[in-house]
Every structure is written in structure tokens, then in C-alpha cells.
Structure 1
Amino acid sequence: MNDAATRTAVLFPGQGSHVEGMGDTVARAAPELHARCLELVGDDAFARAGEDTRFAQPAIFCASLAAAAHDGVDGDAIYAGHSLGEISALTAAGVFTLDDGLRLVVERGRLMAQSAADQGDGTMFALLKGTAEQAHEIAGAHGVTVANDNAPGQLVLSGSRAKLEEAQAAAKEVGIRVMRLDVAGAFHSPAMASAADGFAAALADIELHEARVPVFSCASAKPFADVRAELAAALTSPVLWRQTLLALQDAGVTDFVDAGPAQILAGTVKRTIAVAANA
């Protein structure tokens, strides 16, 4: 891999990056993809992206892929995705066909929504301004999971609402601001075990192709080695996004492109890389 091939990283977002009107944007840029999404979901995923993970995941996948194709992303870039965005990144890199990638995302959203419904009281709280060490200490003391390490001072806990409320009180005692996230499940925690099993079965039926560019996993902060196993395991594993950004920087990346409609990942880059540069 030469220096030119590692200069740019294209980042594909996960949930929470939907914006109003993105369905119209996808319909203009990729009408066949838009139509296929509506067919597979059985409803307007774009209009309902704010309601449920079943709609949010395929809608964001389509918006990200349409944006990456429209922007003419450099074929020599490194790709990385945040949670759901891993499938977008792998699809953009050619590991999955566009239709297979979309079908996987639709199934992933369905399985995660079902696991969340079965669990009943799962949710996620963000810890703002705290350290990773504090987040892990609080999580361990209250029986919840550190689900996301997104950027310095941006960590997310996942678990039952009752236990998270206990963790929230403990966090406030040490001056950490806590924000409840508008999600209906304890994602990236052991509560998603049944979804991970179902997703592994879905992945077993999908053909893999050689990646055109390197794709980093946000569960390992390393290039994918076993795509099927790592994607399934990621449903119960924490998102190591801060570590992934630093690994991309170590790989020679100097320019980060956010392929998401809400440009949320661009903010994590500014926080993470700026801190690393000043360390």
C-alpha cells in the first residue's frame, strides 16, 4: 500500500445520521436503489427513519452509498464505517453487491428491532466530558456496557433503563453530564445476542468479493480479516470509533470524508484528531 492509497479515509455513518429530505436525494441520485429499498422494507424507510431501527438502517445505508457515488470518492481511499456503516463501507468497497448489502442491512435492522422488543427495557445513555476510564468504571459498577467510544468525551453506555439510571446518578456525582439517547434497545451489548445469531445466519448466505480498497472494522480498529464473523460479533461488541480514527491516522490518512447525510462523523474526527495532534 503506497502513501497515495492511504491519504484519504471515507467514513460511513451509523444510526442517528438521518436528515429530512434524504429520501428525495437518494431518489434523484440512485432511483433504482431507492425503489429497491422501499420494496425490501415494505414501507417508506426514508420517511420513517426517525421512528425505528428497521427503517433507519436501510435509509441511512442508501443515503451514504448514494452520496459516496455522487461525490466520486477516490478509489484509492481507505473505508471505515460506524456500526451499521461497516456494511455500507464493505458494499462501497465491493465486498457485497449493492443489493446484497441492502438486504443485509434490512435484515440487520429487523433483527435488532426484534431483540430490542424482546428485551423490553433496553436503551442507551451518552456520557459527555467523561474519560474512557471513568465510563468503564461506572459501567462495571452498575452492570451496564460501554457500547461506544466515539471521541474524547463522547462515550455511550448500553443496558436496562433501571441500571442506566443508577449509572447516570453515579456519573453526575463525578461531574459527568449524561444524555439519554432516543433508541429503543441496548445496542452493542450482550442484549443483542439473538440478533447476532440471526445475522450470522443471514451472512452465511451472502457471497463475498475481494475488497477494492482496505476496510477497517470499528469493532477492532483494524482492517477486516473475517467479514462474516466480525460483522455478526459487532452487534454485541463496543464501537471503538475513536480508536479506529487514530488507527486510520497511523495508517497515513490525512483527509477524512464523511459520506453521511448529517455529517456526524466529521465532528468526531475534529475532536479525535485534534486531541491526538495536541497530545
Structure 2
Amino acid sequence: MVDRTVVVLFPGQGAFDGPALAAANRQYPQVAQTFADIDEVSQELFSRRLTDIVLGEQPVGIAELLADDPWVSQLAIYGSDVAAYRILADQGLRPDVLAGHSLGEIAALVAAGAYSIKDGARIVAQRVLVIGEQQLTEGRMVAVATEAGRAETIIGLIGDPMLAVATENHDGQTVVSGPAQSLEQVRGIAAQLGISTIELNSPFPFHTPILAPAAPVFAARIRHLDQNPLTVPVYSPILQRYYEPGDELSELLSQHFVKPVKFAEGIRQLHGEGLRYFVESGSLSALSKLVNKIVPDGDVTTLSSLTLDGKGTLLLDTALAVLRSTGLVGALSPAEQLAALLAPGVNRDAFAAFWAATGAEITELVQRRLAEFGGAATVSATPAAPAAVASPAASPVAAPAAAAGNGSGSEVDRDTLGADIRSVYAAALEYPEEVFTEDVLLEAELGVDSVKQIELMSRVTTKYGLPEKSSNFRLADYDTMGKIVDFIHSALHNGVQAGI
């Protein structure tokens, strides 16, 4: 039996972060390319480009999207989910399972190849159009800070058949969906019981009987779209099972209108199957936080993507660093780097076939243009191994700082280096420098988790102009400050010896 390790989770309602999306767009071309695909659908159906709204000069927030037409927020969330996944996949992530939360399940199916990005956008858009056409009861969605059984009891006290548990997020949070007036009663009873509530950022009351009349219309509306075999297993918290080869996806997706999302149960099942890395493909970190509440014993690693930390750093970069350190994302081969740079999002086999057929011609053209430009560099004529193509995710770095101060080719003093690294860790963690002794265990004694360790290691290697760590790098091998200093010192020494 093959071990399965990584789940990619796709968030749903409310999962949009304009500043994080803008940061990702500046660094990764997959963002603009994804929204360009969606633009074709939004222009076709609504005569507007989504890109102009979500990737404009100033980042927008979810409140601004919800104040616009309903399709805007829904396609923006979908686009964020898909764009994040395209980046992760192009960087080498090969997940074992995909799973979506509500709207995110459409993005999961697209990521698995069931639909094209454009057809996925059409599915999302038709959800909005069909619901709007039915002139249904106005409704909302409210998160209630209690478990599902107690929420059901509150619903029973009101007696409205249109009220329903929409989502079971974890033992301390249940989402109730239904008519606006009845939800006010839910919030009133909850307040009397000391249970907090909050309204969700959703344009419609999904997963409730209110939407039952729209379900068959929606299924008919999307039935003509091409459905392809899944390339990655997709688990559905709504169906409470994996999608299967014979499934008619249009019918199953229509059931999402009325069936609840049993997210907590789904995460427990995936955890029980041995999956331990949960990577959130989309904005904010809501699902990552839910996973940590559902599996509270620290037995899982959760990673966010389109979210900024307190210092404005895109957590997608941290997630990729963690995945590389554990071997779950290997270093890209030269050919894969070239594909990521020139054709992000394109199937690797398709690009390999294209390069085999045209690589020599392209290489010859580059050589000729370089000569015309006046460059003296010689380009290798072997098209299959472009050896020096930079990953688009990599940031340019300066020459090693410690070596630069001593002149080219000079050795780096270990004690000076160690003091410098300790100051970096102390400033980031707000610890006094003296706690970072040679033998102190970073996680066991100082409580520095693996995600933070990777972030700090990346910060130090960038500071000293070191190349990206190799695929055989293992964070567990560098669990003390002394080992980290030795690693950086050795890398700098080897770099000086090599003349870099």
C-alpha cells in the first residue's frame, strides 16, 4: 500500500484576501493567467472582467466584493483557490487527496482535472444565476459557537422547516442557514444561552431547503460541460465519500445546494487514513485553523497560501519552504524550471513534448538574439537540459554578506556568523540572544515550531545569498542553534571554495 501524506484543502464562502492576492500576483504569473481565463467567462455572462475588480491598482476586500453583484465574490473566491493550486502544482507539489469546503469543492474538482478552469468558472457563475432566477426566500448563513447537536436543538425550538445546519466545522462551531427572520431568532436564543454567533460573508443561504427548487435547474444548466476523469482523488465532505469514476458530477454538484458540509467528519476520516499535511489552497487560513481544532493533538501540519503574516510576508512562500524541507516538494529539474518560467500551468508532459519538438529552434533563436544584443555568453545547444533557468518564485539575493566584508574568496569566521544568526532568531522570536546556546533544542526547549523554523532558515540563507536548499534537506537534522550555524558556515565555506 502506498503511503498517502498530503491533502490540499480549498476554502469556500468568505475566503478572499485582496492584499495577499496582490502580493501573489506580483510574484507568480499563475494568478493573472487564472483570472484571465475567468475573465472570458465573466465577460461572456456578465460583460465585465473580474481581473479589473480583484487585481486593480488597489487591493479590495470581501466586503467590497459582496457589495457588488453576487457573481463577483463567488468567482473571486474560486479564482483565488485555483490560482493558489496552480502555483503549488507548478512548484512541484503532488498531493494525494484534494478536498473542498462548500464552494471550494468546485475548485477541487477543477484542480483534479474534472473540468477546465473556464468551465469551473461557468459552474460557479451558473450557481449564482440559477439561484437569482428562482426568486427564492431571502436568506443568510450564521456561524454558531456550538456543536451540531445543540444547534439542531435551537433550530427545533423555532420550527421553521427552511432552517438547517449547513456546515459542521468542528465541535465548537456549526453554521446554520435559512430565512433571515428565522436566523434572527436563532441568534436571539443563542445569546440567551451564552452562545456567540456571527453572520458569514455569503450572498445566499447555501446548504438549506430554501435552494431545493434551484437544484434541478442548475444540474440541467451545467450538464453539457465536458467532464474528464480525475487525476487526483477528491474527497467530498458533502457527499461524505470520494468522487468515483461513474459519478455524474452535474447531479452531485446540484446536491450541494441543500446538503450540509460535514467538514469535521471529513477531516477525521482523512486523518484516519494517515494523511498528515493539510495545505490550504486559497485565501485566509480558516480551514487550517479548523483542522487544528478538529485534530488538536499536534499530529498534523497545516500550511496556508494566499495569506499574509503580521509582517506582510506571503505564507505561500513559507508553505513551499516547509514542503521542500520535508521532501514533499522536490527541487524542480532544469526542464521543470523552464516550464514554470515560460508556461506556468501547462501540463508537464505537454511542455516536454513541445520542448523536444521545438527546443533546438528556440535555443538557436536565443543564441542569435544574444549575439545581436551584444552578449558574450554562450547558450548550450542542448534543449533538453536548460541548466540555469531561475524559478519564478525565487527572489534575487545579494552576494554572501559575511564573505563580502572580508573580500572575495575569504573565509567566514564561525563565531561572528553564529552571533549574527542568533541575533536574527532573537529579533524574530523576541527572545534574548543568550537563550540561543549551541545545544538548545529549538522546538523541544524553545517551542519554535517547524513552520517558524523553516521561515527563519529561509531568512538566514537569503541574507547570506545562499542557493535554495536541495531536495534532500531535512529540517530535523538541524534542531539546535549550533547545527544551524554549522550548516550555514559550511555552505558559505563551500561557496567561497567554489568562487561564488
TM-score by length of 2: 0.51
Distance in 1 (alpha carbons) for counterparts of 2:131 and 2:277: 33
Aligned residues: 272
Aligned position for 2:253: 231
The 3 A distance-change label for structure 1 pair 275 and 109 is farther
What whole-Å deviation, never above 9, does each CA across 1:200-254 have from its counterpart, x for those lacking one? 0133112221111110112122102423322110111111111111111122211
Please say if 1:43 is aligned against 2:38: no
The structural deviation recorded for 1:85 is 0.8
Greater strand content: 1
- Report if aligned partners of 1:54, 1:113 keep a CA contact under 8 Å in 2: no
Please say if 1:259 is aligned against 2:275: no
Distance in 2 (alpha carbons) for counterparts of 1:26 and 1:193: 38
The structural deviation recorded for 1:190 is 1.0
Which residues of structure 1 form unaligned runs of 5+?
A: none
Aligned position for 2:151: 135
The structural deviation recorded for 1:120 is 4.6
Of 147-156 and 192-201, deviating more is 192-201
Which residues of structure 2 form unaligned runs of 5+?
A: 55-63, 300-500
Distance in 1 (alpha carbons) for counterparts of 2:298 and 2:24: 35
The 3 A distance-change label for structure 1 pair 158 and 99 is same
SS of residue matched to 1:49: helix
SS of residue matched to 1:206: coil
Aligned position for 1:88: 107
Aligned position for 2:264: 242
Q: How does 1:15-30 map to 2 (within 5 A)?
A: 15-21=13-19, 22=21, 25=24, 28-30=29-31
Aligned position for 1:60: 77
SS of residue matched to 1:147: strand
SS of residue matched to 1:119: coil
The structural deviation recorded for 1:90 is 0.7
RMSD of equivalent CA atoms: 2.3
The 3 A distance-change label for structure 1 pair 155 and 185 is same
Distance in 2 (alpha carbons) for counterparts of 1:83 and 1:92: 15
Aligned position for 2:167: 148
The percent of aligned pairs where both chains have the same amino acid is 29
Of 251-260 and 67-76, deviating more is 67-76
Distance in 1 (alpha carbons) for counterparts of 2:298 and 2:157: 29
Aligned position for 1:195: 214
- Report if aligned partners of 1:18, 1:50 keep a CA contact under 8 Å in 2: no
The 3 A distance-change label for structure 1 pair 10 and 159 is same
- Report if aligned partners of 2:169, 2:290 keep a CA contact under 8 Å in 1: yes
The structural deviation recorded for 1:99 is 2.0
The structural deviation recorded for 1:98 is 2.1
Distance in 1 (alpha carbons) for counterparts of 2:106 and 2:297: 28
The 3 A distance-change label for structure 1 pair 275 and 233 is farther
What whole-Å deviation, never above 9, does each CA across 1:9-59 have from its counterpart, x for those lacking one? 000111201111426745832434322322322324343533353111211
Of 184-193 and 264-273, deviating more is 184-193
Greater gyration radius: 2
